[in-house]
Structure 1
């Protein structure tokens, strides 16, 4: 454990041996630790220099300094080093984010290889100062929820996330519950469109990653686009699709002042219904059986006093559920 404050395993062993045998000489400590006497002598010298051990007398005897004093000083030094390292990390992080800022106008870079594309996507998350916007549609090269911890950290740092999901994204088995619902619960604003023209992730107005193709090989090659007329066009495209999207309600929990609000599963169901998903797609998204899905939809219709999905959406909006 003392390695955490900068002591080697041998220094730690010698120091702890001295704690139980004050006034011992190097030979006695060497016997206790199973080390050569010359080696222990060198270790003791370093411990004396670091203030963990004091020496006295002829022949030389050694005694351990009280741990709360000696180790307290070492811990203080480590804390100073960590504080300096933290400041340096912040400086380097700012350099990293600034590198995502506009370079030459109109710059478009081609990135090849799944790992390289994934790294650039992560860089978009890190480069954003205000918001991250995304078109989300299958297929995917990353595991479900892989970027969620990074997104949640950036949200805690004040970056807003707005995502438009295609119906196919919601219907992908496990995607809704293991990723999308959790993203929304952590503060993501989400909307749904029947389809999307491309995949897209954009940091502010400074950087975007767009796949070169939408087939199975899309993840292997992508464009990295920096501030330019093309990036401005992508931003306008996102806002146009956002204005036409249906809000996806998922994740928020009811407070004591919202007891008239639907439970989480009902809110999720409403969002998927509003997104235009079929009963079969809803069942896949929520992990329900077809019978359970039909039963929950029928119960929702009954509660809202309606007979069609369109009426259900209108009634839910009237109640402030959507």
Structure 2
């Protein structure tokens, strides 16, 4: 069985990770034996072992005057120590970021215009700023997407995947014409699978990116530049653009994935699978139990129910059940069955 091991997050290089894994799986050995096993020079092996020793991952022992043998320390001790050190460093860094952010926001009321509004010029600079803002999001990203990508193409946007993986909420309003582009359609499918919320409208008023309701990025027309954008931190302007986003969001139609993983744009009500999901939900079944009964995954159940909540404007599953009954989507008979 091949294990997927990734220790880069706690500071190990690829070579350190590979050879420590070898020591854990295959056991220790002398420097010469390890050089043969790893197909490395003796000097290279020596440097690697010393670096692993400095991290507390290997130890050296000599038996009956033989050549020293290197062997791994227990992962739950050595690696946990590195994890704890990294967690402490991250906690200190997070506290520092929070303190700097508080100072920055406190000074916004008497900041210069340049601190409140930043102009970004050129495709590369716009792309880098866009991705940086997505990566910096802690709670929510809201966006308008039109059919004319300029600086950031859908296939290049890995920051969104990383942010979704951290649990950041994404709400995206997309122009329907954008789905004609396969890259945009593929990115939308991936986002929906990762539990992003997507709605469609005929046209969006502008491209827009809002992170944590504190920073806004919007396009700017500047003579002599192929791409330009403005990054806004002024609270009153940010609030106005957040209000614009919410108004367009409320007018949009939820986009969901059908059982064949295709995009369904513009549903006016639940389909037969949705009705079955609702009935089982109201009967108290868990998402996994519903999925087993209907032959779909638990994630599909969650995604479908979230889409129905979005469609009905429900803030909770309890409210969704009430809305489903009021709208005639389910009846007592269908629930009891």
> One fold, TM greater than 0.5?
yes
TM-score range, shorter chain: 0.5 to 0.7
* TM-score of the superposed pair, with normalisation by structure 2: 0.55
Higher relative contact order (CA 8 A, sep 6+): 1
> Does 2:30 correspond to 1:15?
yes
Q: Distance in 2 between matches of 1:113 and 1:204?
A: 25
Residues 50-91 of structure 1 deviation map (CA, whole Å, 9 limit, x = unaligned): 8413277xxxx43334x5xx3116884455234413442454
Would the aligned equivalents of 2:154 and 2:187 in 1 still touch at CA under 8 Å? Answer: yes
Give the secondary-structure state (helix, strand or coil) at the position aligned to 1:126: helix
Determine the structure 1 residue equivalent to 2:308: none
Structure 2, unmatched stretches of 5+, are: 1-13, 21-27, 269-326, 331-337
Give the secondary-structure state (helix, strand or coil) at the position aligned to 1:104: helix
Determine the structure 2 residue equivalent to 1:142: 152
Q: How many residues align?
A: 237
Shift of 1:95: 4.9
Q: 1:47 to 1:145 in 2, by over 3 A?
A: closer
Would the aligned equivalents of 1:15 and 1:53 in 2 still touch at CA under 8 Å? Answer: no
> Does 2:179 correspond to 1:170?
yes
Q: 1:111 to 1:19 in 2, by over 3 A?
A: closer
1:262-281 matches, cutoff 5 A: 264-265=261-262, 268-269=263-264, 271=265
Q: Distance in 2 between matches of 1:17 and 1:252?
A: 59
Determine the structure 1 residue equivalent to 2:207: 199
Would the aligned equivalents of 1:185 and 1:252 in 2 still touch at CA under 8 Å? Answer: no
Determine the structure 1 residue equivalent to 2:241: 234
Shift of 1:194: 1.4
Q: Distance in 2 between matches of 1:98 and 1:242?
A: 33
Which has the higher Rg, Structure 1 or Structure 2?
A: 1
Would the aligned equivalents of 2:139 and 2:169 in 1 still touch at CA under 8 Å? Answer: yes
Determine the structure 2 residue equivalent to 1:209: 217
One of 184, 188, 194 as aligned partner of 1:186: 194
> Does 2:251 correspond to 1:247?
no
> Does 2:137 correspond to 1:128?
yes
Determine the structure 1 residue equivalent to 2:305: none
One of 109, 112, 121 as aligned partner of 1:112: 121
Q: Distance in 2 between matches of 1:34 and 1:173?
A: 49
Would the aligned equivalents of 2:119 and 2:230 in 1 still touch at CA under 8 Å? Answer: yes
Determine the structure 2 residue equivalent to 1:63: 67
1:67-86 matches, cutoff 5 A: 70-72=71-73, 76-77=77-78, 79-86=80-87
> Does 2:233 correspond to 1:223?
no
Shift of 1:208: 1.2
Structure 1, unmatched stretches of 5+, are: 8-12, 21-32, 254-262, 275-316
Q: 1:54 to 1:251 in 2, by over 3 A?
A: same
Q: 1:16 to 1:200 in 2, by over 3 A?
A: same
Would the aligned equivalents of 1:136 and 1:200 in 2 still touch at CA under 8 Å? Answer: yes
Q: Distance in 1 between matches of 2:174 and 2:48?
A: 62
Determine the structure 2 residue equivalent to 1:88: 89
* TM-score of the superposed pair, with normalisation by structure 1: 0.57
Q: Distance in 1 between matches of 2:80 and 2:162?
A: 24
Give the secondary-structure state (helix, strand or coil) at the position aligned to 1:81: helix
Shift of 1:223: 0.9
Would the aligned equivalents of 1:97 and 1:127 in 2 still touch at CA under 8 Å? Answer: no
Would the aligned equivalents of 2:139 and 2:212 in 1 still touch at CA under 8 Å? Answer: yes
Q: 1:154 to 1:115 in 2, by over 3 A?
A: same
Q: Distance in 2 between matches of 1:97 and 1:83?
A: 21
Give the secondary-structure state (helix, strand or coil) at the position aligned to 2:108: coil
Would the aligned equivalents of 2:254 and 2:266 in 1 still touch at CA under 8 Å? Answer: no
